């Protein structure tokens, strides 16, 4: 409330000095307020003074030389003037009065009728109005600072308030939204009538809370947590709806990525158990076939049958390998690479083998940074993506492969749960094919997930790609739209680390064992037998031990006399780890090869405990041989390091 001790700072813009004197004397008679009057005699000076927003109220004469008080009022408001302005008019021109109020005047007074109480009342009213507007402006500024979108609707669902965050979130400005129905802008895809239900609930209970999917002006989909409150007038009639929306798009995305990666982990554990058993079944087949092939080398019919068996066993063990690779991640070479060369190879293969209707468009940035990895694996990833793209374009289309340097900052890295900020080479593989719905896109990296007809897809392509990319500390993203196409983006980290030289000791040839003494330890008898046969045929002298107990016994009795030990890890107590640890302690000079079909932390433990090599089961005779060659040579020349 204004009291007599208040001083009201009043500005008078008036070009006639007599009129100024009259106003001054009127104000001096004011009873409740104490006025401090300042006088400006020209339009320009007056405008500048009122725009300083230093006055509690401003009186403006209508006649101001060439211009009018109305001009001044309009110009001041257009420049953001917040001071309440009272227009002093000549003979009570109604038209001018109306225009003044429309232009935002606080009041208008007829100069001929003015007296002290009238002027005082008008000034007090103007000041109160100025204060109220200031309060509202401050509140609105606070609402604009809020992170949440704050919106109000009238009861027809038309926007009557739209704060800055609402603009930021949706891309629609206040000017575009005021008076419009949000439904037509933000909820174009609301085919299920979710909004109608929300409205009903709110009308019935006074509020509604939930998640809503909105569309931005740019066409992106966002997810908001929305709270609606029905605002009533004092008599209870619904007046408006206050809505507060919190943007949870990013949280939702991370949540679903997290769920997916958890699902992938549990699938990994599940399949690795099965793969372990399958792998064990395949070892005797692979090794046994080798033995039989040599024995029946002059029997053509038997040889043919044997090579069919061999092929099947190899295909089976390939699949087991892929599944294990998915579960355990893949080891591979880590050498410095130019992705450009790999992409060249992929381009050649696709151009030669893909149907003519598929255009292959390759664009590799010059000065692509080096990454560190396994070229064969990386090529496999790109080929898997390209083959999928081809399959998605049965009628033809364009396959685009792009590679470019990118740098991800903190906020980019938040987009993907597996991403870290840093430098990457990004490879994009996109097609103009059939695309896929979200339910499919959500599952494509799972092993054995395929939408292709029986016999045409095993569903291992993308799960293999996923584990290879993960093994390279990279990550993979997919975007797809049905009927438009699909884009995969793989981020390979750029590495500064020194590249290791390529290890080329693995080759398919059976090597001469030169009578080296090998001890094979496994709990399964048929694995022992077939390994023994295969190794003996390759020129090794082989002993076997069924289970870890036997080895520990031999060690205790100082009877262990071999050049190398191959041991299974997963065995009934004592397991392979116990064997490795004891061997390391008592016979540090004997190299150890650990073998397992189960993907778990024991692999790393085995290597940490001192095994030189790790073989994943099922292993072929070749893999076993080359591992043996490596560790035996390693033993002879300690300087040569291949691990």
Binding residues vs ligand ATP (CB under 6 A): 384, 388-389, 392, 431, 433-436, 440, 444, 449-452, 457-463, 486
Which of ligand ATP, Mg ion, none is residue 348 near (CB under 5 to 8 Å by kind)? none
Please identify, using beta-carbon distances, which residue of 127 and 470 lies nearer to Mg ion. 470
> How far is C-alpha 594 from the geometric centre of its chain's CA atoms?
38
Please identify, using beta-carbon distances, which residue of 171 and 457 lies nearer to ligand ATP. 457
What's the closest the beta carbon of residue 606 comes to Mg ion, in angstroms? Answer: 33
Residue 447 engages Mg ion in binding (rule: CB under 5 A): no
Report the DSSP beta bridge partners of residue 36.
9
What's the closest the beta carbon of residue 448 comes to Mg ion, in angstroms? Answer: 12
- Angle (CA) 582-583-586 rounded to 5° is 85
Q: Which of 461, 471, 548, 591 binds Mg ion (CB under 5 A)?
A: 461
What's the closest the beta carbon of residue 355 comes to ligand ATP, in angstroms? Answer: 15
Residue 433 engages Mg ion in binding (rule: CB under 5 A): no
Angle between the 43-51 and 69-78 helix axes, to the nearest 10 degrees?
30
Residue nearest to ligand ATP (CB): 461
Q: Judge whether 174 and 187 are in contact, CB under 8 Å.
A: no
What's the closest the beta carbon of residue 454 comes to Mg ion, in angstroms? Answer: 15
Please identify, using beta-carbon distances, which residue of 382 and 436 lies nearer to ligand ATP. 436
Listed residue (270, 330, 332, 317) closest to 618, CA to CA: 317
Please identify, using beta-carbon distances, which residue of 360 and 577 lies nearer to Mg ion. 360
What's the closest the beta carbon of residue 459 comes to Mg ion, in angstroms? Answer: 8
Listed residue (372, 366, 378) closest to 342, CA to CA: 378
Which of ligand ATP, Mg ion, none is residue 422 near (CB under 5 to 8 Å by kind)? none
What's the closest the beta carbon of residue 266 comes to ligand ATP, in angstroms? Answer: 18
CB neighbourhood size of 447 (10 A): 26
**Given the rule CB under 5 A, which of 26-34, 254-262, 438-446, 458-466 is the region that contacts Mg ion?**
458-466
**C-alpha span between 341 and 337 (Å, rounded):** 8
Please identify, using beta-carbon distances, which residue of 57 and 393 lies nearer to Mg ion. 393
Sheet holding 397-408, edge to edge: 358-364, 397-408, 422-431, 485-493, 475-481
Residue 486 engages Mg ion in binding (rule: CB under 5 A): no
What's the closest the beta carbon of residue 79 comes to ligand ATP, in angstroms? Answer: 57
Please identify, using beta-carbon distances, which residue of 389 and 598 lies nearer to ligand ATP. 389
Please identify, using beta-carbon distances, which residue of 35 and 392 lies nearer to ligand ATP. 392
Listed residue (47, 52, 54, 56) closest to 13, CA to CA: 47
Q: Which 3 state secondary structure label does DSSP give 473? A: coil
Which of Mg ion, ligand ATP, none is residue 459 near (CB under 5 to 8 Å by kind)? ligand ATP
Q: Judge whether 534 and 622 are in contact, CB under 8 Å.
A: no
**Given the rule CB under 5 A, which of 39-47, 132-140, 196-204, 456-464 is the region that contacts Mg ion?**
456-464
* φ and ψ of 294, to 5 deg: -70, -40
**Given the rule CB under 5 A, which of 22-30, 384-392, 473-481, 487-495 is the region that contacts Mg ion?**
384-392
**C-alpha span between 428 and 408 (Å, rounded):** 16
Please identify, using beta-carbon distances, which residue of 436 and 621 lies nearer to ligand ATP. 436
Q: Which of 122, 388, 480, 486 binds Mg ion (CB under 5 A)?
A: 388
**Given the rule CB under 5 A, which of 106-114, 199-207, 380-388, 630-638 is the region that contacts Mg ion?**
380-388
618 cis-preceded (ω within 30 degrees of 0): yes
Which of ligand ATP, Mg ion, none is residue 288 near (CB under 5 to 8 Å by kind)? none
Q: Judge whether 72 and 41 are in contact, CB under 8 Å.
A: no
What's the closest the beta carbon of residue 434 comes to ligand ATP, in angstroms? Answer: 6
User: Which contacts of 475-483 are long-range, i.e. CB under 8 A and separated by 24 or more positions?
Assistant: 475/416, 475/418, 475/419, 476/445, 477/416, 478/441, 478/444, 480/435, 480/436, 480/441, 481/435, 482/434, 482/435, 482/436, 482/437, 483/434, 483/435
Q: By CB under 5 A, name the binding residues for Mg ion.
A: 388, 461
């Amino acid at each position: 409330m204004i009291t007599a001790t208040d001083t009201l700072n009043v500005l008078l813009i008036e070009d006639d000095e007599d009129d100024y004197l009259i106003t001054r004397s009127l104000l001096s008679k004011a009873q409740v307020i104490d006025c401090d009057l300042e006088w400006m005699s020209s339009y320009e000076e007056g405008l500048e003074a009122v725009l300083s927003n230093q006055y509690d109220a401003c009186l403006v004469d209508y006649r101001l030389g060439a211009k009018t008080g109305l001009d001044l009022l309009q110009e001041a408001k257009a420049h953001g003037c917040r001071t309440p302005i009272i227009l002093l008019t000549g003979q009570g021109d109604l038209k001018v009065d109306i225009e003044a109020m429309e232009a935002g005047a606080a009041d208008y007074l007829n100069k001929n009728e003015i007296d002290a109480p009238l002027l005082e009342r008008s000034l007090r009213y103007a000041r109160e109005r100025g204060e109220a507007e200031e309060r509202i402006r401050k509140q609105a500024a606070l609402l604009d600072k809020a992170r949440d979108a704050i919106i109000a609707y009238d009861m027809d669902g038309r926007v009557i308030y739209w704060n800055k965050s609402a603009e930021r979130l949706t891309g629609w400005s206040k000017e575009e939204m005021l008076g419009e129905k949000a439904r037509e802008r933000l909820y174009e895809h609301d085919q299920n009538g979710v909004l109608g239900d929300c409205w009903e609930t709110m009308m019935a209970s006074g509020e509604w809370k939930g998640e809503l999917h909105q569309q931005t002006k740019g066409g992106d989909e966002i997810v908001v947590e929305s709270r609606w409150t029905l605002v009533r007038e004092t008599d209870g009639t619904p007046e408006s709806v206050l809505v507060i929306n919190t943007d949870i798009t990013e949280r939702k995305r991370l949540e679903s990525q997290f769920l997916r990666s958890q699902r992938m982990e549990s699938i990994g554990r599940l399949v690795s158990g099965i793969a372990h058993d399958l792998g064990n079944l395949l070892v005797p087949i692979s090794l046994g076939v080798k033995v039989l092939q040599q024995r029946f080398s002059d029997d053509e019919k038997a040889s043919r049958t044997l090579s069919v068996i061999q092929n099947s066993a190899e295909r089976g063990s390939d699949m087991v390998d892929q599944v294990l690779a998915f579960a355990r991640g893949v080891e591979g070479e880590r050498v410095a690479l130019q992705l450009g060369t790999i992409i060249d190879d992929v381009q050649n293969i696709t151009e030669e083998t893909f149907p003519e209707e598929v255009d292959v468009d390759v664009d590799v940035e010059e000065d692509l940074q080096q990454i560190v990895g396994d070229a064969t694996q990386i090529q496999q990833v790109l080929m898997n993506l390209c083959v999928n793209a081809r399959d998605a374009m049965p009628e033809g289309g364009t396959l685009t492969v792009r590679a470019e340097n990118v740098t991800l900052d903190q906020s980019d890295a938040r987009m993907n749960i597996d991403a870290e900020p840093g430098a990457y080479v990004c490879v994009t593989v996109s097609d103009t094919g059939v695309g896929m719905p979200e339910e499919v896109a959500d599952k494509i990296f799972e092993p054995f997930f395929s939408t292709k007809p029986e016999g045409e897809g095993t569903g291992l392509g993308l799960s293999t790609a996923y584990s290879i990319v993960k093994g390279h500390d990279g990550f993979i993203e997919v975007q797809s739209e049905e009927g438009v196409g699909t884009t995969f983006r793989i981020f390979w980290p750029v590495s500064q680390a020194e590249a290791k030289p390529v290890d080329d000791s693995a080759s398919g040839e059976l090597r001469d064992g030169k009578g080296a003494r090998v001890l094979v330890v496994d709990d399964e008898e048929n694995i022992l037998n077939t390994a023994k046969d295969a190794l003996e045929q390759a020129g090794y002298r082989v002993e076997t031990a069924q289970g870890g107990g036997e080895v520990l016994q031999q060690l205790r009795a100082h009877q262990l006399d071999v050049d190398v030990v191959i041991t299974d890890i997963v065995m009934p107590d004592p397991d392979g780890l116990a064997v490795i640890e004891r061997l390391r302690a008592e016979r540090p000079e004997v190299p150890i090869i650990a073998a397992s079909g189960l993907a778990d932390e024991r692999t790393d433990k085995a290597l940490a405990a001192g095994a030189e090599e790790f073989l994943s089961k099922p292993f072929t005779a070749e893999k076993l041989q080359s591992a043996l060659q490596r560790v035996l040579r390693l033993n002879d020349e300690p300087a040569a390091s291949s691990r």
